[in-house]
Amino acid sequence: MELVPQLIVSGIAAGSLYALVAIGLVLIYKATDIVNFAQGESVTVGAYMGWLCITQFRLPYFVAVVLVLAGSALVGMIVERVAYRPLLKSPPFTVILATLAVGLIIKNAIRLVWQDTPRTISGVFSAEPIEIGSVLITPERLAIMFTVALVVALLVLFFRFSKLGKAMRATAQSQEAASLMGISVPGIFSKTWALGSALGGLAGVLIAPLVGINTELGAVLVPGFVAAVVGGFTSIPGAIVGGILVGVLENLGGVFISSSFKQVVPFVVLITVLMVLPTGLFGKPLRKAV
Amino acid sequence: MQDRRTFGKLSAAVAATMAFGRHASAADEIVIGYHGPMTGPASWVGLGGRDGALMALGEINAAGGVNGRMIRMISYDDAGKASEAEAVAKKMIESDKVFAILGGGISNVAIVVAEEAHRGKVPYMNGSGASPKIMDLKSRWTFSGATIDVRDIAENAAIFIGDYLKVKKVAVMNGADEFSQSLSDNVVRLIKDRYGIETLTRQRYNPGETDFSSQLLAVKQSNPEYILMFGLYVEAARAVRQSRELGIKTPIKGDTSMMNLGFLTVAGAAAEGMIAEYLPLYFNGDTAKDMVEFESRYKKLFPSYPVDRPNYVDVYNYGNMYAFAEGMKRAGKDLTRKGLVEALETLNNYQAADTWPKAVNLIQPLTFTESHNGNRRLSFFRVTNGAFKPIADFKVPVPSTKFPQNASLNW
Amino acid sequence: MKLDGVETFYGAVKALKGVSFTVPDGSIVALLGGNGAGKTTTLRSISGLTTARKGTIEFNGTRIEKSPPERVVGLGISLVPQGRLLFAELTVAENLELGAYLRHDSAEIKRDIEKAYEQFPILRQKRAQEAGTLSGGQQQMVAIARSLMSRPKLLMLDEPSLGLAPMIVAEIFETIRKIRDDGVSILLVEQNANMALSIANFGYVLESGKVVMSGNVAQLLSDPRVQQAYLGQEAGPAAPQAVRH
Ligand SMILES: Nc1ncnc2c1ncn2[C@@H]1O[C@H](COP(=O)(O)OP(=O)(O)OP(=O)(O)O)[C@@H](O)[C@H]1O
Ligand SMILES: [Mg+2]
């Protein structure tokens, strides 16, 4: 094993999940100008739903993944309905606090039902490392990275070619113009929150076999958020690069500076990026409509 | 306030206690007060402490009680808050006029109750608090039973590493919380001073972290003989699992916090062979006769409890209640509070089954003849076939820390 | 389409104080008025972007004053908004496709996009470009073409000439007339009254949220007050005058 290549590969593996969480944040932010602080709980909900499907209802993992996508999408729609829509006329800060509150409620509701006892689900792919060149990686991690890449590709196609995807992009740019096209803006919001939340849920069910399931899984919101900001908060490629950057920097910082600073390093990067490039690495200058 | 929320679950226990106590009138019963967090995040501590004690109490009363008198326990929820605990202690002492108090509390709360008990001259058994501050009050009225002082935890671990593992180079990973940090600091210092064991690298992890590749790779790079992990069991479990992903074959020793089913659940097969320490003599599901007996009785008494019960606090207070009862028995017919304290001070290497035929031995033998820290030892376990099994071929000698001698304590 | 006593508020500000007029089928109606007269607000009220608090708006026998924009579009009213409101980061082609959002006849949609490119050949060249990168005139063409993609029965345009070079303005107005000739009714808001009246059949003049004058083009053109206020002329010889409200 060579240290630096291994740190980078492991960092990319971790970062691909941060990226998934970040994309969920970005989609919702682009559409509604709101940072969804309940996104971490989508991850938790996804993991618990996967656990329910697999260990309680004895469904195959792949079926569970599909149900998790649907279920966490529903959670997103509920958050939109209770935290966003009734507060349309409130300042963004209020709405963000509301998403935070909904997240806390979800977390505590889960804790009430299943306590703090962690659960797990067994994954489909092997957790035994294989050696590629000078680095070790498990089929399980490779599968996660592949899934994230696939999802990103599907998302790109969705936004590029599907009617709904185009409508979402249009709404993100001008809600008024979108509604003049006959697009139901509240409907688009609801679907965007559903999509963003489904990505969080997917992250949850993907990571659950590796890290177990408890109510604190939502903490992955933090690196996801940093990833989104580093990537400019308005771009999917930005979120991906941001996620991978955070994963890799955590690893390099953790080893070459100190593990105490591991989680601080991404913040330092964040602040630096914001000072040099206020709109992030991939951000576009604010220009919604001409 | 009296805890009524779990009344349903408790009804079996209450029914059992009442049935055993049927013949006793209020005048000849001994009332013990109990406090612990029964709501909030630490409720598993308070509920465990209560139910383990209730179970022992049922057995004691069924065996005829203490010198012909039945024991009754009244329980209060202190919510894990010092302010709440103070009110609860005052109520137990002043209006309930309890004979003695048993705690199932966390340290910050146990300190407060110990202070109140000292003021009210009521014997107090600290059930599960590990903070040195509890015994540093130097109160003759306060005893620590099954639980262990943190200084002893570090020393037990150091002795085990030096005398049993016999390694010379270790790497340390610890949770960033205060407890894990200070425990690991102490262990690192002790193994260096006593055995010359080198700590090659120290890595920290935070609550909620999901990826430990940087910490683990730094550890791997340092090439230790053993990895010592301290605290935050969910994160530790994730790290243990990930260590195998990164091809780390170095054996791992954890700490008391990792002795739970949740840890094994998350770490999965990667935990096999791992070592950790624990206060009780057995882990849940152990096939030892005493543990099988205890668990089957427990499940009969509390049929609707989740899989992670009985927990270790159940076990502590099962043992503590027997020790309390033994003290009362030894104090004789003319039971006084001072008499109970003096009788408890005669317990030497005491195990419940020594004097109570129905009892099972689940905690370390208790000795109060020199200090009120009844237990100085931990047990060590190795994960074997997915379960924690006691390491039979090693017994830690009594650690060297000098606790205040009984004669120097204040009435 | 018929407005009757429409009152619209922005918070406490009453922007429309009872606006009534009609747009006869197949005609171009010009809505004139100075800055802040309420022209944009009138169009927004029709299209549902702002909701009228009082009064009725009727289109082909359907009351629409409470309808959200997506329903109004569905009924056949399309707005080319002030400032165009293109989807700047979407391509020209995507902008056009979105104009047909409520339609499901994909073959017909393709044909309509072709038609739009025939009408504005420059857009065919630019179809893969982000709309925000186009010139002002080209953007106005996209905006109009996008609105037409919903196959409206009534097309409303809010100051389509604003900020454009005279040659482009002439081209735009020529297009508007062609659209009318294809059978689409037009409600045209303009400050450039000369241009507007040059293609309109009827005109209304708004002042502080009220219709203050109405008439056919000839009447309005010859009205001295209109000439003075909106056509930049001195009062001319007496002629049939527009009705003063
Ligand atoms: N969003 C708004 N909030 C508050 N008041 C508004 C708003 N929009 C317009 N107004 C007010 O309503 C009145 C009518 O405005 P409107 O935009 O309809 O005028 P207009 O005739 O289109 O003007 P212009 O020729 O400048 O476009 C004005 O007094 C304007 O200040
Ligand atoms: Mg206007």
pLDDT tens across A74-91, in order?
989 998 998 888 888 888
Q: Using the beta-carbon criterion (under 8 Å), do B268 and A263 form an inter-chain contact? A: no
Count up the domains in chain C and report the number.
1
Query: Residue B370 and residue A78: Cα distance in Å, rounded?
Result: 62
Region B150-278+378-390: CATH code:
3.40.50.2300
pLDDT tens by residue, C19-56: 999 999 999 999 999 899 999 999 999 999 999 999 99
Strand arrangement, sheet containing C2-10: C13-22, C2-10, C54-59, C62-63
Contact A151, C43 (CB under 8 A): no
Q: What 8-state DSSP symbol labels residue B27? A: G
Examine chains B and C and say if they touch (3+ CB pairs below 8 A): no
Residue A1: the pLDDT is: 62
Quick check: is A190 in a domain?
yes
User: In chain C, which residue's Cα lies nearest the Cα of A183?
Assistant: C70
Contact A14, B213 (CB under 8 A): yes
Joined tokens for residue A27: 């989609």
Pocket residue to mutate for ligand 1, from C9, C10, C206, most atoms within 8 A of Cβ? C10
Phi, psi of A212 (to 5 degrees): 75, 180
Q: Using the beta-carbon criterion (under 8 Å), do A166 and C90 form an inter-chain contact? A: yes
Task: Collect all residues of chain C within an 8 Å Cβ-Cβ radius of residue A183.
Answer: 70, 98, 101
Q: Using the beta-carbon criterion (under 8 Å), do A255 and B218 form an inter-chain contact? A: yes
Q: With bands split at pLDDT 50, 70 and 90, how would you rate the model's confidence at B201?
A: very high
Pocket residue to mutate for ligand 1, from C8, C35, C40, C85, most atoms within 8 A of Cβ? C40
The three-point CA angle B215-B217-B222 to 5° equals 100
Flag whether residue C85 sits within 8 Å of chain A, measured between CB atoms: yes
Task: Collect all residues of chain A within an 8 Å Cβ-Cβ radius of residue B202.
Answer: 259
Q: Which ligand ends up closest to the CA of C14?
A: 1
Joined tokens for residue A31: 């559409």
User: In chain A, which residue's Cα lies nearest the Cα of B235?
Assistant: A211
Atom of ligand 1 nearest to the CA of C38: 18
Q: Which of A47-56, A261-270, C4-13 has the least mean pLDDT?
A: A261-270
Residue C47: the pLDDT is: 96
Ligand 1, CB within 6 Å, residue ranges: C 10, 13, 15, 33, 35-41, 82, 191
Contact C120, C112 (CB under 8 A): no
Q: Which of A161-170, A266-275, C151-160 has the least mean pLDDT?
A: A266-275
Determine whether C26 is exposed, middle or buried from the number of CB atoms within 10 Å of its CB (0-12, 13-18, 19+): middle
CA nearest to B241, candidates B206, B212, B277, B278: B212
Q: What is the DSSP string of chain C?
A: -EEEEEEEEETTEEEEEEEEEE--TT-EEEEEE-TTSSHHHHHHHHHTSS--SEEEEEETTEE-TT--HHHHHHHTEEEE-TT----TTSBHHHHHHHHTTT---HHHHHHHHHHHHHHSHHHHHTTTSBGGGS-HHHHHHHHHHHHHTT--SEEEEE-TTTT--HHHHHHHHHHHHHHHHTT-EEEEEES-HHHHHHH-SEEEEEETTEEEEEEEHHHHHH-HHHHHHHS-----S--PPPEE-
Amino acid making up residue C219 = Q
User: In chain B, which residue's Cα lies nearest the Cα of A15?
Assistant: B211
Residue B10: the pLDDT is: 43
Helix H or strand E encompassing B200: strand B198-205
Average pLDDT score over residue span B184-194: 95
Residues in CB range of C238: below 8 A, 6 or more apart:
none
Average pLDDT score over residue span C87-101: 96
Query: Residue C207 and residue C196: Cα distance in Å, rounded?
Result: 17
Q: What is the mean pLDDT of chain A?
A: 90
CA C72 to ligand 2 center in whole angstroms: 20
Flag whether residue A288 sits within 8 Å of chain C, measured between CB atoms: yes
Query: Residue A210 and residue B213: Cα distance in Å, rounded?
Result: 13
Region B12-147+287-370: CATH code:
3.40.50.2300
Q: What is the mean pLDDT of chain B?
A: 87
* Residue A63 scores a pLDDT above 80: yes
Average pLDDT score over residue span A217-228: 92
Q: Which of A170-179, A266-275, B197-206 has the least mean pLDDT?
A: A266-275
CA nearest to A239, candidates A15, A8, A31, A13: A15
Nearest CA to ligand 1 atom 4: C10
Residue C142: the pLDDT is: 97
Task: Collapse the DSSP code of B32 into the 3-class scheme (helix H, G, I; strand E, B; otherwise coil) and give the result.
Answer: strand
Task: Collect all residues of chain A within an 8 Å Cβ-Cβ radius of residue B210.
Answer: 14, 17, 207, 210-211, 217, 219-220
CA C8 to ligand 2 center in whole angstroms: 14
Contact C22, C36 (CB under 8 A): no
Q: pTM of the full predicted structure?
A: 0.84
Tokens 């790079």, residue located: B221
Flag whether residue C49 sits within 8 Å of chain A, measured between CB atoms: yes
Quick check: is A285 in a domain?
no
Q: With bands split at pLDDT 50, 70 and 90, how would you rate the model's confidence at C123?
A: very high
Average pLDDT score over residue span A5-30: 93
* Residue A290 scores a pLDDT above 50: no
Give CA separation, B282 vs B3, B265, B290, B293, B380, in Å: 30, 18, 9, 12, 9
Q: With bands split at pLDDT 50, 70 and 90, how would you rate the model's confidence at B27?
A: low
Residue A101: the pLDDT is: 93
Task: Collect all residues of chain C within an 8 Å Cβ-Cβ radius of residue A179.
Answer: 48-49, 68-70
CA C10 to ligand 1 center in whole angstroms: 9
User: In chain A, which residue's Cα lies nearest the Cα of C95?
Assistant: A170
Give CA separation, C151 vs A157, B376, C176, C208, in Å: 28, 87, 14, 33
Cα end-to-end distance, chain C, whole Å: 20
Q: What is the 3-state secondary structure of B58-83?
A: HHHHHCCCECCECEEEEEEECCCCHH
Task: Collect all residues of chain A within an 8 Å Cβ-Cβ radius of residue C87.
Answer: 169-170, 173-174, 177-178, 289
CA A181 to ligand 2 center in whole angstroms: 20
Give CA separation, A114 vs A198, C157, C228, in Å: 22, 59, 78
Q: Which of B186-195, B372-381, B395-404, C158-167 has the least mean pLDDT?
A: B395-404
For the ranges A7-16, A263-272, B36-45, C221-230, the one whose mean pLDDT is highest: A7-16
Taking residue C94's Cβ as centre, other Cβ atoms within 10 Å add up to: 20
Q: What 8-state DSSP symbol labels residue B126? A: E
CA nearest to B234, candidates C47, A104, A213: A213
pLDDT tens by residue, B51-94: 999 999 999 999 988 988 999 999 999 888 889 899 999 999 99
Helix H or strand E encompassing B142: strand B142-144
Contact A92, A33 (CB under 8 A): yes
More confident residue, A93 or C100: C100
Domain that holds residue C213: 2-244
Quick check: is A19 in a domain?
yes
Flag whether residue C86 sits within 8 Å of chain A, measured between CB atoms: yes
Atom of ligand 1 nearest to the CA of C209: 14
CATH of the domain at C24: 3.40.50.300
Q: What is the DSSP string of A95-144?
A: HHHHHHHHHHHHHHHHHHHH-S--B----SS--S-EEETTEEE-HHHHHH
Q: What 8-state DSSP symbol labels residue B95? A: I
Residue A212: the pLDDT is: 93
Query: Residue A45 and residue C149: Cα distance in Å, rounded?
Result: 42
CA C40 to ligand 1 center in whole angstroms: 7
Average pLDDT score over residue span B163-177: 94
Task: Return the domain boundaries, chain B.
Answer: 12-147+287-370, 150-278+378-390
Nearest CA to ligand 1 atom 22: C40
- What sign results for the dihedral spanned by CA atoms B32, B38, B44, B45? negative
The three-point CA angle A144-A149-A155 to 5° equals 125
Query: Residue B385 and residue B387: Cα distance in Å, rounded?
Result: 6
* Residue C195 scores a pLDDT above 50: yes
Q: Using the beta-carbon criterion (under 8 Å), do A127 and B244 form an inter-chain contact? A: yes
Contact B204, A260 (CB under 8 A): yes
Query: Nearest CB to A3: which of B208, B221, B234?
Result: B221
pLDDT tens by residue, A95-144: 889 999 999 999 999 988 887 788 999 888 988 999 998 899 999 999 99
Task: Collapse the DSSP code of B350 into the 3-class scheme (helix H, G, I; strand E, B; otherwise coil) and give the result.
Answer: strand
Atom of ligand 1 nearest to the CA of C189: 22
Strand arrangement, sheet containing B100-103: B71-77, B30-36, B100-103, B124-126, B142-144
Count up the domains in chain A and report the number.
1
Q: Round the CA-based radius of gyration of chain C to a whole number and report it.
A: 18
Nearest CA to ligand 1 atom 26: C35
Task: Collapse the DSSP code of B334 into the 3-class scheme (helix H, G, I; strand E, B; otherwise coil) and give the result.
Answer: coil
Average pLDDT score over residue span A228-256: 90
* Residue A278 scores a pLDDT above 80: no
Quick check: is A262 in a domain?
no
Subunits touching B (CB < 8 Å, at least 3 pairs)?
A: A
Residue B395: the pLDDT is: 83
Q: Using the beta-carbon criterion (under 8 Å), do A184 and C97 form an inter-chain contact? A: no
Flag whether residue A170 sits within 8 Å of chain C, measured between CB atoms: yes
CA nearest to B229, candidates B245, A138, B248: B248
Query: Residue B173 and residue A259: Cα distance in Å, rounded?
Result: 10
Q: What 8-state DSSP symbol labels residue A191? A: H
Q: With bands split at pLDDT 50, 70 and 90, how would you rate the model's confidence at B20?
A: very low
Quick check: is A9 in a domain?
yes
pLDDT tens by residue, B267-317: 999 999 999 999 899 998 889 999 999 999 999 898 887 777 888 889 999
Q: What 8-state DSSP symbol labels residue B368? A: -
Task: Collect all residues of chain A within an 8 Å Cβ-Cβ radius of residue C98.
Answer: 166-167, 170, 178, 181, 183
Q: What is the DSSP string of A29-53?
A: HHHHS---TTHHHHHHHHHHHHHII
Domain that holds residue A37: 4-215
Query: Residue B240 and residue B227: Cα distance in Å, rounded?
Result: 10
Helix H or strand E encompassing B202: strand B198-205
CA C115 to ligand 2 center in whole angstroms: 29
pLDDT tens by residue, A156-211: 999 999 999 999 999 999 999 999 999 999 999 999 999 999 999 999 999 999 99
* Residue B16 scores a pLDDT above 50: no
Q: With bands split at pLDDT 50, 70 and 90, how would you rate the model's confidence at C244?
A: low
Examine chains C and A and say if they touch (3+ CB pairs below 8 A): yes
Joined tokens for residue B317: 């207070």
Residues in CB range of C237: below 8 A, 6 or more apart:
none
Query: Residue C211 and residue C225: Cα distance in Å, rounded?
Result: 14
Task: Collapse the DSSP code of B248 into the 3-class scheme (helix H, G, I; strand E, B; otherwise coil) and give the result.
Answer: coil
* Residue B17 scores a pLDDT above 70: no
Task: Collect all residues of chain A within an 8 Å Cβ-Cβ radius of residue C79.
Answer: 180
Joined tokens for residue B138: 């130097």
| Alpha helices for A162-281 (secondary structure H) | 163-173, 175-180, 185-211, 221-230, 236-256, 264-276
Q: Give chain C's length.
A: 245
The three-point CA angle C215-C221-C223 to 5° equals 75
Query: Residue B285 and residue B278: Cα distance in Å, rounded?
Result: 15
Taking residue A68's Cβ as centre, other Cβ atoms within 10 Å add up to: 28
Taking residue B230's Cβ as centre, other Cβ atoms within 10 Å add up to: 28
